[in-house]
Amino acid sequence: MPRRSCDFGNKLVFREGFPIVTYVQRAVWLLVACGVALIVLAALPVDAQTAAQATKDPAYRAFPVFGSRLAVWAVAQLHLNFAAFILGVPIFAVIIEAMGWRTGEARYDWLSHELVKLTFAAFSTTALLGALLLFLFVGYYPKFWAYMTSIFFPTYWVYALLFFAETFTVYLWYYGWNWLSGPRKWIHVGLGVLSNLFGTAILVVANSWVTFMMSPAGIDDSGALKGSVWDAMYNFTWMPINIHRLIANIVFGGTICAAYAAFRFLGARTAEERARYDWMGYIGNFIALAAFIVLPFAGYYLGREIYAFNQTMGITMMGGFMSWLWIIQAILIGVLFLGSNYYLWLGMERIPGSERYRKYVPPMLIILTVGFMIWATPRSMVVTLDEARAMGGTHHPLLGFFGVMSAKNTVVNLMILTTFLSFVLYRRANKIARKPWAKTGMVIQWAAFGAAAGVVVFYGVYGYFVESIVRIGFSVYQVLAVLAAIVLVMAIDIPMFKGARTTGQIRWGTIAPHSQYVLILLAVTFTWLMGLMGFARSGIRQHWHVYGVMRDTSVDAATPALGYAANVITLVTLAFFMLVLFIFWLGGLGERGAEAHGHAAPVIAGGRDAER
């Protein structure tokens, strides 16, 4: 029975009436795509064999047309994007499922299932890209891979076993959704937790390889392993990267899920569907934002460990040829902060009672904009001689003061506090606290915000008058002040608004459509930022495969300039989103008629036509 009425036009009616035409078209395109992929895959070993005949034991082979570095770069970035998604999403999916289990609200269970469905579809693509990356290393960088194997061979087995465990657990988690419901739900949630533990362990093992390349440890002067493989794994940057990637994966997963919801919202045909995906987009953004707030702290920890490992590497990263990269990073993070806040402010429009908080938006916007501008101010500019003379040096006499870490640490902490304030206001937009101590609670909350801002600004200014080694330590106090304020405010906020009087129900689905483009902007920006940070992490090794141990003597030993890197990142990000779109479309195929299988989408408040 056709689901749509004929007012959509003849073409649609024809397709609805004869869906086989659409499927045949899609199948043909799918076959063409598979054919092209097969040709490319077949060409690789042929080319590698030809190259192998030319030299018996080569250190490198050349990937046709693009070159080996570009091939590895593209596949590695794609693999990491997918891996981040499938590792990040289950972390919050299981939390949401547990929330649904404990509260009995069906919408949480539906959302969790929806999220796992998305990761499930991306699972095999991640594995495929991982295998392709391995083939590229073995085929085109044999000497490098042989060296890595000489150090990390025992971990390969651990990785493979964990991958099996992860795969089977996720399969059981996904397919057992209905089977393990009701009184057996705790087993199901347990499976979700277990799959996350396996997934995180995989991340940790793979991180040991990549961090060893940056900050090798546990080896002698000749590069051979001295003790056990653990000494090589436990290198300077391993733990910071573990933490940074874990948090970043959650942010990434949140933004992609929010973008998916935005896409579905924009294409929704009923108010109910719009409400459902508006809610999903909000949750995705909330998760991304919550994790994003702590991400800069993990970044500082990583930066500190890079300096602790090797000052030259740290200085090259921040003050050498990569210094401009951090300006681009600042712009991207500024977009993320502004975008997230703007989405929250737009979202408040659909909450009755939020009008009383509108007055806070302009000052918050000013803090974010000024913070963004200061963060993006470079310390020293690459200038012509005339410009340098006019400026009195490579540092601008006034703006140069904003280019140092004291200013940047200060504004990023203030931006985090502002974003947190946005969230707090959003959270209480339709609530009025009824607790007798509410007034005192709010005074303490504002005092916590003020005190944290005071500490941040004080150490920011004080940092200009002390040596750099002392100044670095100040960032810890700034971070602790912000974190303490966040914890204190939430510790008061949760009980204070428990049983609060509501000023009206959130009208899900009535948010302005352009807000959905903000969610897409956030997803694209964060994905691009991941690519950029990957380039930074890899690029600081410069002409070394393994820093200071194994030199890159290939034709691609030079580290490219930012423009080239940005173009590659853009193309790979584009490829990622096209693949994601395709995978989600594939995942959606199974959805047709799925409502009969027990996962009917719940009705979200404000979404019913009758309630509008």
Nearest CB to another protein, comparing residues 275 and 294: 275
570 is an interface residue for another protein by CB under 8 A: yes
Residue whose tokens read 């972390």: 91
Bridge pairing between strands 501-502 and 431-432: antiparallel
* Out of 135, 462, 477, 517, the residue judged to bind another protein by CB under 8 A: 517
330 is an interface residue for another protein by CB under 8 A: no
User: Looking at 149-157, 308-316, 445-453, 485-493, which segment touches another protein (CB under 8 A)?
Assistant: 308-316
467 is an interface residue for another protein by CB under 8 A: yes
User: Looking at 24-32, 150-158, 185-193, 550-558, which segment touches another protein (CB under 8 A)?
Assistant: 550-558
HSE, side-chain direction, 13 A CA sphere, residue 447: 8
Maximum Cα–Cα distance across the chain: 83
* Out of 131, 574, 589, 600, the residue judged to bind another protein by CB under 8 A: 574
Q: List the one residue out of 146, 153, 72, 196 whose CA is nearest residue 534.
A: 72
Nearest CB to another protein, comparing residues 112 and 559: 559
φ, ψ of residue 560 to 5 degrees: the values are: -70, 160
280 is an interface residue for another protein by CB under 8 A: no
User: Looking at 185-193, 298-306, 347-355, 565-573, which segment touches another protein (CB under 8 A)?
Assistant: 565-573
469 is an interface residue for another protein by CB under 8 A: yes
Tell me, residue by residue from 61 to 100, as one string, x for binding to another protein by CB under 8 A and - for no binding: ----------------------------------------
DSSP for 333-388 reads: HHHHHHHHHHHHHHHHTTSTTGGGGGGGHHHHHHHHHHHHHHHT--SS----HHHH
User: For residues 38-57, which are near another protein according to CB under 8 A?
Assistant: 55-57
User: For residues 129-158, which are near another protein according to CB under 8 A?
Assistant: 143
User: Looking at 116-124, 160-168, 419-427, 543-551, which segment touches another protein (CB under 8 A)?
Assistant: 543-551
Q: d(Cα 378, Cα 402) in Å, to the nearest integer?
A: 8
Q: d(Cα 32, Cα 197) in Å, to the nearest integer?
A: 39
12 is an interface residue for another protein by CB under 8 A: no
In angstroms, give the least distance from the CB of 600 to another protein. 24
First CA to last CA distance, the chain: 28
Q: How far is CA 96 from the centre of its chain?
A: 18
581 is an interface residue for another protein by CB under 8 A: yes
Q: d(Cα 583, Cα 305) in Å, to the nearest integer?
A: 38
Q: d(Cα 68, Cα 49) in Å, to the nearest integer?
A: 15
Q: How many residues bind another protein (CB under 8 A)?
A: 64
In angstroms, give the least distance from the CB of 521 to another protein. 6
Alpha-helical segments (H) within 9-55: 10-17, 19-54
**Tokens, residue 11:** 């073409």
472 is an interface residue for another protein by CB under 8 A: no
Partners of 43 in the β-ladder? none
**DSSP element (H, E) containing 212:** helix 185-214
Tell me if 336 sits within 8 A of 525, measured CB to CB: yes
User: For residues 190-229, which are near another protein according to CB under 8 A?
Assistant: 221-223
547 is an interface residue for another protein by CB under 8 A: yes
In angstroms, give the least distance from the CB of 399 to another protein. 16
Summarize as ranges the residues that interact with another protein (CB under 8 A): 55-57, 59, 143, 221-223, 262-263, 266-267, 310-313, 315-316, 319-321, 324, 327-328, 331-332, 382, 467-469, 517, 520-521, 524-525, 528, 539, 542-544, 547-553, 557-567, 569-570, 573-574, 577, 581
